[in-house]
Structure 1
Amino acid sequence: MRLSIVRILSSSVFLLASGVALAHPSHEHSSSFMAGFDHPIGGVDHLLAMLAIGLWAASLGGRALWAIPTAFVMTMLAGGAFAVAGFSVPFVEQGIVLSVIVLGALVLFAKRLPVMACVVIAASFALFHGVAHGMEMPLNADGLHYALGFAAATVALHLMGVGLGLLATPLMTRIGGSVIAVMGLLLVVA
């Protein structure tokens, strides 16, 4: 089991670094996908929330291991579609920063909630992340490829969080949650 987790983590690292391998970034579909892929990785707020989702899911185990990340990705895609369609969601940036703080705290305090409650929490925060991705889509980007890009990056970050959560001791996972929550608090004052 640990060997497969190491393989998943190393594959995720190579996937995240694959953007430098594009020989012709001016092609619309490649650049649209990579623009979407880079967005969750390039923003520390998105990156921390995605890792926290994976850590939280790993700490809960069972159905939560797949249900929480899946709900996040699906709702994030819906949020992106809402933004592209012109719908407005208030307090997007505040919701994203709050997601970092709350998700980090849930990992820190090893809070055990029913899986459905966890799914609702994850989906609620995912809406803000998706709207932000949709609002920041480049005007010349292909929407489908852009969405696939930010969804792929999110899945990779979730997998990294899950892998780290499964490999780490409960104490190390909780420390990771505290670092994420504190970083979220720093984002408030930044």
Structure 2
Amino acid sequence: MNTTSTRKITRFATAVAVAYAASTMPSYAHFLPNAGGLGAGLSHPLSGLDHILAMAGVGIWAGQNADNEPVFRWLPLGFVIGMIAGAVFGMTGFPLPFVELGIAGSVVVLGAIVALGSRVPFGAAFAMTVVFGGLHGFAHGQELPIASNALLYGLGFVVSTAVLHAIGFSLATFVARLSWRTALRVGGGGIAVAGVALASSLAA
């Protein structure tokens, strides 16, 4: 597939993702507590700012480095792998302390990495996203609605996560193409600050 075709597909996917997020978030926000299956899974990553920022942050980090290191295009996969494993663990009902604080911490770290333009080796970056995904996945699994279809619920939050990754990745590559990397770093700083605020609210 040539570069032009890839760009067209990326733009189309981003447009669909934005339209999807805009149309579903308001309606699902009140649907989650009593929902089951696919609908609840789709809505869950969109129901919390911490999830949105972390998942978009992974996509931004991947897009920020993809031109110099194409292997970074696979970075979101690490998050999804960790998220699925964490969700399965969370569904068992086993308690894991400080999960919410860890999720807020993942937002801070991801935002700081983007803001600083840190050159993290891909292996370490992939491992980090697996861990972060595991924390977010645990929260998804722990909040599985009663009488839900776990498989459909899992499919739903994987799809929503992929959408947020795609939005972040497309945003980062678009900004890089326009040589607005400073704006991207400012955005990363904003994500980190939001993460600190989330962590502070949990610690209060």
Paired with 1:149 and 1:17, the residues of 2 have a C-alpha distance of 16
Task: Name the counterpart of 1:144.
Answer: 151
Task: Name the counterpart of 2:161.
Answer: 154
Q: How far off is 1:31 after superposition?
A: 4.3
Paired with 1:50 and 1:189, the residues of 2 have a C-alpha distance of 20
Once the two structures are superposed, residues 25-76 of structure 1 have per-residue CA deviations (whole angstroms, 9 ceiling, x without a partner) of x9xxx9411111111111000000001000001111111112x100101110
Q: How far off is 1:103 after superposition?
A: 0.4
- Does the 8 Å CA contact 1:106/1:177 hold for their aligned counterparts? yes
**Paired residue secondary structure (2:37):** helix
Task: Name the counterpart of 2:120.
Answer: 113
Alignment map for 1:168-183 (pairs within 5 Å): 168=175, 169-183=180-194
2:91 aligned residue (69, 80, 84)? 84
Task: Name the counterpart of 1:16.
Answer: 21
**Paired residue secondary structure (1:63):** helix
Task: Name the counterpart of 1:59.
Answer: 64
Paired with 2:132 and 2:39, the residues of 1 have a C-alpha distance of 23
Once the two structures are superposed, residues 4-40 of structure 1 have per-residue CA deviations (whole angstroms, 9 ceiling, x without a partner) of 43212101123334548x9xxx9xxx94111111111
- The question of 1:165 aligning with 2:172 is answered yes
Which shifted more, 133-142 or 169-178? 169-178
Paired with 2:44 and 2:97, the residues of 1 have a C-alpha distance of 20
Q: How far off is 1:90 after superposition?
A: 2.3
Task: Name the counterpart of 2:40.
Answer: 35
Identify unmatched segments of 5+ residues in structure 2.
none
Provide the identity percentage.
38
Q: How far off is 1:175 after superposition?
A: 1.3
**Paired residue secondary structure (2:93):** coil
- The question of 1:46 aligning with 2:57 is answered no
Could you state the TM-score of these two structures normalised by the residue count of structure 1? 0.89
Paired with 1:56 and 1:19, the residues of 2 have a C-alpha distance of 25
Paired with 1:16 and 1:151, the residues of 2 have a C-alpha distance of 14
Identify unmatched segments of 5+ residues in structure 1.
none
Q: How many residues align?
A: 182
Query: What RMSD in Å do the two structures reach over aligned CA positions?
Result: 1.9
Matched residue type, 1:63: V
Paired with 2:89 and 2:15, the residues of 1 have a C-alpha distance of 34
Could you state the TM-score of these two structures normalised by the residue count of structure 2? 0.83
- Does the 8 Å CA contact 1:35/1:146 hold for their aligned counterparts? yes
Paired with 1:17 and 1:59, the residues of 2 have a C-alpha distance of 24
Structure 1 residue ranges (4+ consecutive) displaced by more than 6 angstroms after TM superposition? none
